[in-house]
Chain A
């Protein structure tokens, strides 16, 4: 139900201009030029990388369900049109800036909870639920900082955690799912399979609610500056939203090189550099758009977009023949970005 809602919402945003698997690549968080530009173009930032382990088969089954229920139609060239406009009952997702960092946060959090729970029961030799060495190391440092051996500090953590759950703006069901994924003293977290049986929800719905809860939790901790939890967010958000290769292009750009020079130095095709520039335009607030698109052309493009309401390149090009396709893409990316 939740996943279906989300999927319809995303497909709606693509506005019939993309094929079936665009949404799949978006949810998987594929780092290709097309997927990344579309994020800006269609304002899909919240949904990027929400399901990095989604399989193609599972995704396609969902699409077929939607088609059978007459909520979408798929045209012959595989483009999708949404028939029933969805209403999204949840918000606050931020896939673009978290990109899986929410799971790092959860791993840290669950190991801290397991440690304190065991410690409260005088058990210091338990089997850690997270095996990742980096997470263990991080949590060890955090616990030292917390003075976790002191009863007073344990209570402070437990109370802050309870309060956080109470105040978190997500549903009770979502809080339940979150709590049952955690492990403690002689209590092991539940698998998705087990949660599925107990809640009669699908695995995708459960996982979406879980990720939604994590995103809210992270934001809540940040916005309320909850001192006990803030250290757990260390580098959970991506430092730079640019892909590594685009970052290199950005560096050269800042040194004052032009696109041809960059293409030559990096031995890349011009079209690749264009992809990079579009990605930078979308993500960097201070991007100097006027260096690439003269003001009057940019204003003309924006006018056409708001007039026809479409983000297809060709109709825009037909109305403003003096603009290059690259300039049109750039303006669209820039306008859809941060």
Chain B
């Protein structure tokens, strides 16, 4: 019966591992924690449930871009009764949606909006069948992207009548899982934990003597080996630098970061998906909502800031199941840079003083964000804890969080550049046992030279500007 529904609504014949189990538990009105790897069809779990349950599915989702992407995808597959409620939705349009909320089968909402009175009031008229919390690891301060406002989800959703909750995440250690259970007030949840291992991804670490030699390695490597691929860097400047050097030798590549205008980013994403670009050099701003099955290589020129981030980025390779490669270019002391970058988003002590001073004067401390004296992420963390704890403990709390952050970098470095099998260590980090190793495992286990296949020798013709008449014929050939 589930297969029939799968076929009817999504045109698939079989479930991917975990999907059926999760959906069955949801239909039995159990709370569920599902740990499913990125790209394994997490969203299908609540989407299909939505068709089989009698009522609306509310999906809490932390990232605007992710939310927009999900809504677009569902619409493309013919689901019209879907809406996203976030800060993009304003004024009259917002009122119209809220007044008509019961007409939707799927309601996506940001955690901030979920707490708002007007939304709660509108939602109280809706018959809710399921609440899905996407990226549920954000609820845990031990997770790699803790979002304070996630902590309020639990309280908010429990004000509605007893509705089953489905928590979805791609990465969670046992400690994070425990937090999810606790803060979402789950009773005896059903758990589905997928193996984190991706057997078709081969891990290699390439030691590089000096930082500035990385660019030369990349230029040589990309000219020879298979694509498509993504290079992840830490700064906008680096993305531009690499992209320019690579373009010069004829690689079809574009830089991508949050500083590039929205319409340009859109073109770059589309070109990459359509195969008009072979490589993207990106900051971590790239990837969310980019559905491309055949990415063959992910290269990091730096140590990522946590296991969660690393797996999310590496996990974009090989969604089609074909052999793919993850390469880390590592130079001694790379961890130092990563550590300083990763604690940058935490408030400093002077921010805490400033916050207190403003609050005492009766001024809304949010002015610090408006005057760019603190980042919004930092402010959210600060704001949350200042309401929870006395000032002196806030300082302690934030120092503790920074310390944890630094520890995470150390852990990741040990795993990626240590003496043990990288694949085994990744599984161990998530307290899972690795049952089998593929032939192409990792650089510790030993890899043949030139393990990454050479690219076909036929050079893809680089795009060339013709006249507008020619282009017209390309767009409208018939």
Q: Is A338 an interface residue (CB 8 A)?
A: no
Q: Is B435 an interface residue (CB 8 A)?
A: no
What are 13 inter-chain pairs, A to B, with CB distance below 8 A?
A: A117-B475, A120-B476, A120-B478, A127-B273, A172-B467, A172-B468, A176-B466, A176-B467, A183-B270, A188-B267, A188-B274, A193-B254, A198-B463
Cβ-neighbour of B465 out of A113, A193, A199 (below 8 A)? A199
Contacts of A16 in B (CB 8 A): none
Q: Is A3 an interface residue (CB 8 A)?
A: no
A187 and B467 form a contact (CB under 8 A): no
B264 and A188 form a contact (CB under 8 A): no
Contacts of A180 in B (CB 8 A): 465, 468, 471
Q: Is B474 an interface residue (CB 8 A)?
A: yes
**Per-position 1/0 for B450-478, Cβ under 8 A of A:** 00000000000001111110011011111
Contacts of A233 in B (CB 8 A): none
Cβ-neighbour of A184 out of B264, B464, B476 (below 8 A)? B476
Main SS class of interface, B: helix
Contacts of B68 in A (CB 8 A): 131
Q: Is B268 an interface residue (CB 8 A)?
A: yes
- List A127-152 residues whose CB lies under 8 Å from chain B: 127-131, 133
**Please, which residue of chain B has its CB at the minimum distance from the CB of A182?**
B475
Cβ-neighbour of B72 out of A116, A131, A198 (below 8 A)? A131
Q: Is B116 an interface residue (CB 8 A)?
A: no
Output the least CB separation between A152 and chain B (Å): 14
B468 and A129 form a contact (CB under 8 A): no
Contacts of B471 in A (CB 8 A): 176, 179-180, 182
Q: Is B271 an interface residue (CB 8 A)?
A: yes
Output the least CB separation between B118 and chain A (Å): 20
Most chain A beta-carbon contacts within 10 A, residue among B465, B466, B475, B478: B475
Chain A residues within 8 Å of B, Cβ to Cβ: 53, 113, 116-117, 120-121, 125, 127-131, 133, 158, 162, 165, 172, 175-176, 178-180, 182-195, 197-199
Most chain B beta-carbon contacts within 10 A, residue among A113, A172, A175, A189: A189
A127-B270, A179-B468, A186-B274 given; A194·B475 CB < 8 A: no
Contacts of B77 in A (CB 8 A): 125
Output the least CB separation between A233 and chain B (Å): 20
Bound complex: CA of A199 vs CA of B463, how far in Å? 12
Contacts of B270 in A (CB 8 A): 127, 129, 183, 188-189
Bound complex: CA of A165 vs CA of B466, how far in Å? 15
Q: Which 5 A-B pairs have the closest CB atoms?
A: A184-B475, A198-B465, A179-B468, A179-B471, A175-B468
Cβ-neighbour of A185 out of B72, B261, B472, B475 (below 8 A)? B475
Q: Is B159 an interface residue (CB 8 A)?
A: no
Bound complex: CA of A178 vs CA of B475, how far in Å? 13
Contacts of B254 in A (CB 8 A): 191, 193
Cβ-neighbour of B472 out of A127, A162, A188 (below 8 A)? A162
Output the least CB separation between A122 and chain B (Å): 11
Told that A188-B274, A190-B463 touch, could you supply 9 new A-B pairs with CB distance under 8 A? A128-B72, A178-B468, A179-B468, A184-B476, A185-B475, A191-B254, A198-B463, A198-B464, A198-B465
- List B57-99 residues whose CB lies under 8 Å from chain A: 68, 72, 76-77, 88
B76 and A125 form a contact (CB under 8 A): yes
- List B220-277 residues whose CB lies under 8 Å from chain A: 247, 254, 261, 264, 266-268, 270-271, 273-274, 276
Contacts of A120 in B (CB 8 A): 476-478
Contacts of B76 in A (CB 8 A): 125, 127
B267 and A117 form a contact (CB under 8 A): no
Cβ-neighbour of B475 out of A113, A175, A195 (below 8 A)? A113
Contacts of A128 in B (CB 8 A): 72
A129-B266, A131-B266, A189-B267 given; A179·B472 CB < 8 A: yes
Contacts of B464 in A (CB 8 A): 198
Bound complex: CA of A193 vs CA of B271, how far in Å? 13
Bound complex: CA of A236 vs CA of B268, how far in Å? 27
Bound complex: CA of A125 vs CA of B10, how far in Å? 13
Bound complex: CA of A178 vs CA of B467, how far in Å? 11
Output the least CB separation between B372 and chain A (Å): 15
Bound complex: CA of A74 vs CA of B254, how far in Å? 38
Most chain B beta-carbon contacts within 10 A, residue among A117, A133, A178, A188: A188
A53-B261, A125-B76, A191-B254 given; A176·B475 CB < 8 A: no
